[in-house]
A = this chain, B = another copy of it.
């Protein structure tokens, strides 16, 4: 087993994408858009046709985002076998269906065919790398690189290793994704659902509860999100949002003042005990995020972003209406 990367993250030219469904295909589109050579493999008989059609539909979006130099759909090759797909790869993105036995076998196969020192990132959302890396001869270079759908647009990638992954592989993958244009969170420990999905699932379950109880409809829930907290969450996460809700006193004031309302029956999610330790940790870490910006500055930045988002969304609607022949609003 090697502990030395075959190439530096900066020198990656060829990415192998194993599994080319919605997520795998989204990765293919992303890597093509960033100028990489991409070799894909998927065992489904109609995989290539579906993949090329997915890339075709994603391409206008990638063009609007701005293609990297040399980026082209022609840089996509579909390999007939997994071994051929990974043989010349500088990095492998695995996006197979979410079945543990299948993922474990596939990662072992990838590892066996892959040159030494090449890192593999798995798109898994449901399993930990510790569970999946058990069959591979060299589990040290297998890490999770969990994207959000569509991977060619949503910047977030959560990177984390398993028990047998080595730190160099986690660091290498994090740096590679960053160079490939993603917003990377390198996690210190495995956590079911990682971070983004835990938050997303909490919202989703609360939504299901409301519909189950007949308290709100799907339309009301979606409207409440897009015209309410969702607008802010595109640029201020939940912690910065609540920091601002504390006014000049920030997170500390928010927790000290509204702490008791944590116990209000506002969701079906049980509230954590607001211990002094948790309170202090929230305040301290929020201070780091705020990084010296005053409340007035944060508010000015928030307002500007919210308006920019609303205007951008209105502009898209005007364009779409014009395209439908409804003329300008």
Q: What residues make up the interface of A, taking CB atoms closer than 8 Å to B? A: 22, 57-58, 61, 64-65, 126, 148-150, 153-156, 158, 183, 185, 187, 189, 191-212, 215-242, 244-245, 247, 261-262, 264-275, 278, 281-282, 285-286, 288-289, 296, 299-301, 303-313, 315-316, 319-320
Contact = CB atoms under 8 A, between A and B. Distances in A.
Contacts of A212: 272-273, 275, 278, 281
A156 B272 contact: no
Contact of A219 (B217, B220, B222, B285): B285
A234 B237 contact: no
A208 B259 CA distance: 12
Contacts of A154: 227-228, 231-232, 306
Given A61-B303, A193-B266, 18 more contacts: A64-B304, A185-B223, A192-B265, A196-B229, A198-B210, A199-B203, A199-B207, A199-B224, A199-B229, A201-B266, A209-B272, A212-B273, A222-B239, A225-B233, A230-B234, A233-B233, A311-B312, A312-B312
> Main SS of chain A's interface residues?
helix
Given A227-B183, A237-B226, A65 B307 contact: yes
A224 B156 contact: yes
A51 to B, nearest CB: 14
Nearest to A150: B303
Nearest to A229: B200
A133 to B, nearest CB: 20
A158 B238 contact: no
A222 to B, nearest CB: 3
A276 to B, nearest CB: 12
